[in-house]
Structure 1
Amino acid sequence: MLNRRILYIIGSLEVGGAERHVAQVAMRLKERGWEPEIFVLMPGGPLTHVLNDAGVTIHGVTLPAWVSRVLKNDRLHARVGLVVTSFALICKLWLRRPAVVHFFLPAAYVIGGLASLFARVPARIMSRRSLRNYQAAHPFFARVERYLHPRMTLVCGNSNAVVNELFAEGISAQRLRLTYNGIDLAPYNTPFDRGAARTKAGLPENALVFVLVANLIPYKGHADLIKALARIKKALPEPWLVLCIGRDDGIGADLQQEADSLGVGSNIHFLGSRTDVPGFLRLADVGLLCSHEEGFSNAVLECMAAGLPMVVTNVGGNAEAVLDGVTGYVVPAHNPERLADALLQISLANDRASMGEKGKRRAGEHFSMISCIDAYEALYHETGAGVR
């Protein structure tokens, strides 16, 4: 009998780039006859319902309420939760016997990687989706990861920048794989009334609209964007607006205050987390990503699929997606001055629509979900999963 069961381990099913990617991959693989399951370190999150509706099994452990009442110390509660989750994961691996266990994000790799060694899973794959900047703040993760690396069957990075860092950590080229993100192009190829969409959203039909899809986290660079816009606010074509889509992780009020103090508060709209992102991308004119660190951003690919010319920072795989001067502009991170120059240049460019069309073609040719799922199937076949 063929074993086509893949167990993904990830921290949560909140709406984030890695979480959405795993959900998409799991659902598409199920359509191709695989048996994907997901173990979540922190159960819950809006993507849970999406996966349940698609028939993807989700595992996880939630401590009963009385444990919180007994363990009033938060640190002790977290440690008990870690032990219980780890034990439950080991048991699940023994019972389900997946052909492959696949880890996404550092916490899942550390906890899941160690658990998979105890459970003697036949094939283990780790996918890193960001640069290793996080290791400076979490040296324990760095030590455990270096212990786990040689015990992985394959190790994947989602950009050349990430793959190069993994190689520098001692992983042999024979076990390294580049697996680009993929996006569903269908939402961007249906008929769309841009004017009606703007009217419904309360936006002027003639406005220059920038859009940034990124949770409000310091390293996503929203503060740099605000400073850049303040430098060029009088030179931008009127009216202009910036739509910031993403969950507020605690800095939203500070960003709004900074924007107000620099005179651009009324131009920047913080929309929070949305489920209708494709519609906002298609009514915009320019896509943005101002990150200080990145692996390979799905948000950039989605903006490109919507036909938007891009302004992105040169971190991670951004420059592998956006061709500088062809489909947009690539600028240094932490540099509001250069960011401002690029924003003004693309705002006044006569070939802006042409740049967006080139980006749309590039997204379809190199970063489709179909090619991404093909790459994942090749990974699993390489480990022996699903092979007679």
Structure 2
Amino acid sequence: MGACARARVLAAYSWDAHLGRLDALLDAGSVPAVALRDRAGGACDDDPRPLVVHVVYRFDVGGLENGVVNLINRLPVSRFRHAVVALTECEPAFCRRIVHDDVRFVSLHKPPGHGVKVYPALFRLFNELQPAVVHTRNLAALEAVVPAWAAGVPVRVHGEHGWDVSDPDGTRRRFQWMRRLYRPFVTHYIPLSDHLLRYLNASVGVGAAHMTRICNGVDTQRFRPGVRGREALAGSPFEGDELCVIGTVGRLEPIKDPLNLLRAFVLLLRRAPELAGRLRLMFVGDGSLRTELEAEVARAGVGACVWLAGERRDVPEALRAMDVFVLPSRAEGISNTILEAMACGLPVIATRVGGNAELVLDGETGMLVPASDSDALADALARYVGDGGMLRRQGDAGRKRTEVEFSIDGMVARYAQLYESLLSAAGRPVPAT
């Protein structure tokens, strides 16, 4: 980091800057409106269950957000209650994935820029809700720990799930400095992968005693293999046992690099044009790159072989309609979609970034390829298309791996244990039942 850039970061995120922002919290007239939805009026003030407030940038379709849904739905309702705060917006359709009626959803509608704009709203909200735990996730929500600290929240947990396109490999010094300057406000960190744990230790200076690695888990009952291999999917143009369907699930955004997958697919068809009769590619998800993907499909003349299915709620069924799953991301933490694909008995081709190598055992449950390398990805696809036995063996191995090592019940139990230990240390024991 250059001297000028470092000076700007320190000016924006120094202790004096934060204290100045906390002073501004006292100015009630500057507090923006807060949109709060409580489906059942909320819990009583004397409810002994600790309230966990989950803070995210946006509560909408995504792997991180799916993890929040799974955690809220599966933590014992007799021991914990929850609220979800989105710095921007809680999407109503996505909120309906929460099965409990006493969960609050708060949308702060934060404008672009530093979160100081919503510090007053967060401070007042935390004072009103009196949470026992504030659990922020990723850098975009990390700044919420400052008003949580100011409001006296005893336990402030921060989860690191991975990086975005602005810092795909975690090397930007500016973001490392930002994390360092927020570190005193965080009680405990939860990195989802060993890769992120090492990053927090080496680049942010978080000691081992203040971190607990908790990997994502997958619901192996909901995500399961098809009864007789690949299954039909409602609306899919790809039918027939002779087909080989390559698929991916994820946002059509630069960080997920769907264009790299499309280019690898087109490259494979150019190398082996005889595959055009049986090779198909399915994208499940939507995003800003959809128009560019459609244009590339048209330019390559592969419209009959590629289906942009859009966002779907039947993701398990979509996965069961594939033969091979690909995650072409430029950066990842611990990918829910990799785990879901493995649980559905699919071999996984993933880029060698972030925590992907902790999930995909190269040569056993799938293959790892360099990021943004269409040639290497096309080579990997060709191996599965030409070797059905390897496809089935690796798919079966991936399914067994999720059952043994990535149980969703085990993940939830680890979160519950960590919350309990941190609350106990803070003098806020969790009810036994």
Equivalent pair of 2:334/2:354 in contact (CA under 8 Å): yes
Give the 5 Å matches for 1:41-190.
41-45=87-91, 46-51=93-98, 53-61=99-107, 78=111, 85-110=118-143, 112-131=144-163, 134=166, 142-168=176-202, 169-189=204-224
Equivalent pair of 2:111/2:117 in contact (CA under 8 Å): no
Specify which of 340, 350, 363 is matched with residue 312 of structure 1: 350
Report whether the alignment pairs 1:329 with 2:367. yes
**CA-CA distance at 1:187 after TM superposition:** 1.4
Give distance in 2, aligned partners of 1:81 and 1:193.
Answer: 52
Residues 310 and 179 of structure 1: is their aligned pair in 2 closer, same or farther, counting only changes over 3 Å? same
Q: Which structure's CA Rg is the greater one?
A: 2
Deviations 1:283-329 (A, max 9, x none): 21111100111111101100001000111100111111111000111
Of residues 1-10 and 85-94 in structure 1, the stretch that sits farther from structure 2 once superposed is 1-10
Equivalent pair of 1:158/1:296 in contact (CA under 8 Å): yes
Residues 23 and 205 of structure 1: is their aligned pair in 2 closer, same or farther, counting only changes over 3 Å? same
**CA-CA distance at 1:33 after TM superposition:** 2.9
| 2:296 aligned partner | 258
- Aligned residue for 1:91, secondary structure, equals helix
Give the 5 Å matches for 1:184-263.
184-189=219-224, 192=227, 197-198=232-233, 201-206=236-241, 207-233=243-269, 235=272, 236=275, 238-248=277-287, 250-263=288-301
| CA root-mean-square deviation | 2.6
Give distance in 2, aligned partners of 1:86 and 1:342.
Answer: 48
Report whether the alignment pairs 1:37 with 2:57. no
- Aligned residue for 1:204, secondary structure, equals coil
One-letter identity of the residue aligned with 2:283? C
| 1:362 aligned partner | 401
Of residues 233-242 and 294-303 in structure 1, the stretch that sits farther from structure 2 once superposed is 233-242
Specify which of 272, 277, 284 is matched with residue 310 of structure 2: 272
Q: Which has the higher helix share?
A: 1
Give distance in 2, aligned partners of 1:313 and 1:176.
Answer: 26
The sequence identity of aligned pairs, in percent, is 27
Residues 61 and 131 of structure 1: is their aligned pair in 2 closer, same or farther, counting only changes over 3 Å? closer
| 1:68 aligned partner | none
| 1:73 aligned partner | none
One-letter identity of the residue aligned with 2:292? D
Report whether the alignment pairs 1:381 with 2:420. yes
Residues 292 and 191 of structure 1: is their aligned pair in 2 closer, same or farther, counting only changes over 3 Å? closer
One-letter identity of the residue aligned with 1:280? A
- Aligned residue for 1:283, secondary structure, equals coil
Equivalent pair of 2:165/2:254 in contact (CA under 8 Å): no
Residues 382 and 280 of structure 1: is their aligned pair in 2 closer, same or farther, counting only changes over 3 Å? same
Equivalent pair of 2:193/2:355 in contact (CA under 8 Å): yes
Residues 59 and 139 of structure 1: is their aligned pair in 2 closer, same or farther, counting only changes over 3 Å? farther
Equivalent pair of 1:286/1:308 in contact (CA under 8 Å): yes
When normalised by structure 2's length, the TM-score is 0.79
One-letter identity of the residue aligned with 2:415? Y
User: How many matched pairs?
Assistant: 372
* Uncovered stretches (5+) of structure 1, i.e. residues with no partner: 64-76
Equivalent pair of 1:131/1:165 in contact (CA under 8 Å): no
Give distance in 2, aligned partners of 1:61 and 1:37.
Answer: 11
**CA-CA distance at 1:82 after TM superposition:** 5.4
* Uncovered stretches (5+) of structure 2, i.e. residues with no partner: 1-46
Specify which of 291, 307, 319 is matched with residue 281 of structure 1: 319
One-letter identity of the residue aligned with 1:85? V
Give distance in 2, aligned partners of 1:196 and 1:289.
Answer: 21
**CA-CA distance at 1:356 after TM superposition:** 0.3
When normalised by structure 1's length, the TM-score is 0.88
